[in-house]
Amino acid sequence: MREIDYTDYYWQDKKVRLRAIQEEDWESCYVSDFDTPARILLECAIELPTTLSGAKKFVEANANFSSTNGRIMFTIENLDGDSVGGINLNSIDERNGTFSIGIVVDKEYRGMGYGTSAMKILLKYAFLERRLHKFNDYVLEGNEGSAKMMRKLGCVQEGVRRQVVYINGKHLDFILFGLTKDEFMETLSKET
């Protein structure tokens, strides 16, 4: 196969590249499911033990943008081609122009800016190509890394949904964040 020139590739910035989930991603999916603290923050629940067949089914159901659950699922790669996590555009409401994004960065790659970079690429796509207007999301109480990333992206903390999930014997809050297209564009203009 010819070498790919990513110089002007839309789905890439100076840190990461977004690509379709591929069949061979099942192993990375399986291994990341053993990071219980991260899975709790992502799924807001204690999950049953992971299985090889479950990881393979997940990848099969979402490979090559084949998902039928309304999510557009991507693998996040660093520029060396290593899979560093996953991200998806979800909860898309075309009528009202709202959406959400789910993201997980594998443990060994956290704190390197990969998540923020991937979020910017997907926010740009949602706002400038899909013509969506408002990003709405929440962070589980105690997820300081994601809350910091939301603020770094220019998101505004819009409120708290108190004691909405029960995990490990405790009721926890959702910290609500939002970002409009205009706020995102303002943040982008400050970077250039």
Strand order in the sheet with 83-93: 16-20, 72-78, 83-93, 98-105, 134-140, 170-180, 156-167
The answer, yes or no, to whether residue 172 has pLDDT greater than 90, is yes
pLDDT digits (tens, 9 = 90+) for 124-162: 999 999 999 999 999 999 999 999 999 999 999 999 999
pLDDT digits (tens, 9 = 90+) for 88-135: 999 999 999 999 999 999 999 999 999 999 999 999 999 999 999 999
Q: Which amino acid is at 5?
A: D
pTM value is 0.92
Do 151 and 115 touch, CB atoms closer than 8 A?
A: no
The answer, yes or no, to whether residue 69 has pLDDT greater than 90, is no
Compute how many other C-beta atoms are within 10 angstroms of the C-beta atom of residue 173: 17
The answer, yes or no, to whether residue 192 has pLDDT greater than 80, is no
| pLDDT of 7 | 87
Do 153 and 119 touch, CB atoms closer than 8 A?
A: yes
